[in-house]
Chain A
Amino acid sequence: MSTGPGLESLVDQTISVITNDGRNIVGILKGFDQATNIILDESHERVYSTKEGVQQLVLGLYIIRGDNISVVGELDEELDANLDLSKLRAHPLKPVIH
């Protein structure tokens, strides 16, 4: 099956997902389908704020509907491990407007 430059190569890797409502969810990609519905295992949400460091919320096993996904990105675990999230400040993303 040809998925082209698809998500196949990212399976079992840690990925970062931006959803249409502006959330950033990080987890291990366990599967996906034609509609870009994805399975994320051991996932957590990173909540950005300008006032305090990044909060991480444990989410666990998630199925995210493709409709609701803006971006799927590979996560460089080494780079990520060197991030001090507690010092990171950022504006939260706005939701996608259709």
Chain B
Amino acid sequence: MSGRKETALDLAKFVDKGVQVKLTGGRQVSGTLKGYDQLLNLVLDEAIEFLRDPDDPLKTTDQTRRLGLIVCRGTAVMLVSPTDGTDEIANPFIQPEGA
């Protein structure tokens, strides 16, 4: 039982590493993961928020603001990924259209 109920990800390996977090509602922050709990509440240090396009709040821009030390409420966390190795890339799905 306990084995199955466990969460799908062990955040331990991300501690003291940079993570990127997407929150419900569209906010996106990144920072150094200092701690977490099983409810996915996260402590991020030196966090920055990626500001969003005022015309389309679902889009983030490259503008940021500094948040410092923050707690992300677990219920609002949608997605966690390591900052390291995360890069914007060109369309990788280009394939011969209509072929």
The reply, when asked whether chain A contacts chain B directly with Cβ atoms under 8 A, is no
Residues on A lying within 8 angstroms of B by beta carbon are none
Residues on B lying within 8 angstroms of A by beta carbon are none
